[in-house]
Amino acid sequence: MPERVAAMTRYRFGELLATGGPEQKTIIFCARDRHADDGAAAMSNFYADGCDKNNGSRRAPYALKCR
DSSP state of 59: P
Q: What is the pLDDT of residue 8?
A: 93
Q: What is the pLDDT of residues 5-56, one digit of tens each?
A: 999 999 999 999 999 989 899 999 999 999 999 999 999 999 999 888 888 8
Give the residue-averaged pLDDT of 59-63. 85
Q: pTM of the entire structure?
A: 0.86
Which has the higher per-residue pLDDT, 28 or 67? 28
Q: What is the pLDDT of residue 63?
A: 93
Where do the domains of the chain lie?
2-53
End-to-end CA, the chain? 21
C-alpha to C-alpha distance for 63 and 40, rounded to whole angstroms: 5
